[in-house]
Chain A
Amino acid sequence: EPEVTQTPSHQVTQMGQEVILRCVPISNHLYFYWYRQILGQKVEFLVSFYNNEISEKSEIFDDQFSVERPDGSNFTLKIRSTKLEDSAMYFCASSDSRGGTETQYFGPGTRLLVL
C-alpha cells in the first residue's frame, strides 16, 4: 500500500542552525501538508501546498519557514534559524484532494530537537 515517507526520523540541531525536513508524498497525490506536534500538545497545521505554491498557511508558518517541491517526488520543509520552541514532531501529509473530501495520509514524522 502506498505510504508517505519522511527523513530523517530524528534530527538534533543547535539553536540558530538551518534544518531541512524531507518528505516523499504518495505518488499520485496533489495536495501536500506539514503539521507539527509539540510534546503533549495537539497536532497543529503549518502549511498546505498545491500546484507548486502555498495554498494556505497558519500563523505559526512565519518567515523562518519555507516549503519546496524541488522535483517530482520530494516535498521539503526548511526552518532557517531554529529556535528552542521549534522542537517538535513534524508530520508531512498528502491527499488526492478533490473538493476537500479526501483522506489526508500522514508520514511517520521527524522528531526535531533544538538545543
Chain B
Amino acid sequence: KQEVTQIPAALSVPEGENLVLNCSFTDSAIYNLQWFRQDPGKGLTSLLLIQSSQREQTSGRLNASLDKSSGRSTLYIAASQPGDSATYLCAVKGGSEKLVFGKGTKLTVNP
C-alpha cells in the first residue's frame, strides 16, 4: 500500500529565503507525482506534475524534482514571498486512477 510522507509538517521562513519541501513515497512504481497548493479552507491548486520518466519540472519560482528509485521528491521555492504562505501537498499516482496524498507542509513566509 502506497504511503506518502511530507517533512517538515510546518515551516516558517523570512521573506526572500529559498526553501525546500520534501516528499517521500514507499512504492516507487508510480506514473506521476503532483504538487498542490492549498490555502486555508480552500481547494487544491495544481502547481507541477512530474511524469515518472522525468527528473524535474519548473514553473516560475518553483522547481520540483523526482528521484523515483529512492522514492523522493522535492519542491524548491526560490525567493519566497508572503503570498506563498499555504499548505503544500504532494500526491502520487500509481497503477490505478487514484492520487495518494501526503499530509502536507504548512509554509509561513514572514514579511
Contact = CB atoms under 8 A, between A and B. Distances in A.
B107 interface: no
Interface stretch (A12-20, A63-71, A79-87, A100-108): A100-108
Contacts, number: 58
Interface residues of B, number: 25
Given A48-B97, A107-B43, A101 B89 contact: no
Contacts of A41: 103
B18 interface: no
Interface residues of A, number: 28
Nearest to A92: B43
A91 B44 contact: yes
B31 A103 contact: no
B22 interface: no
Interface of B: 31-32, 34, 36, 41-46, 49, 51, 89, 91, 93, 95-104
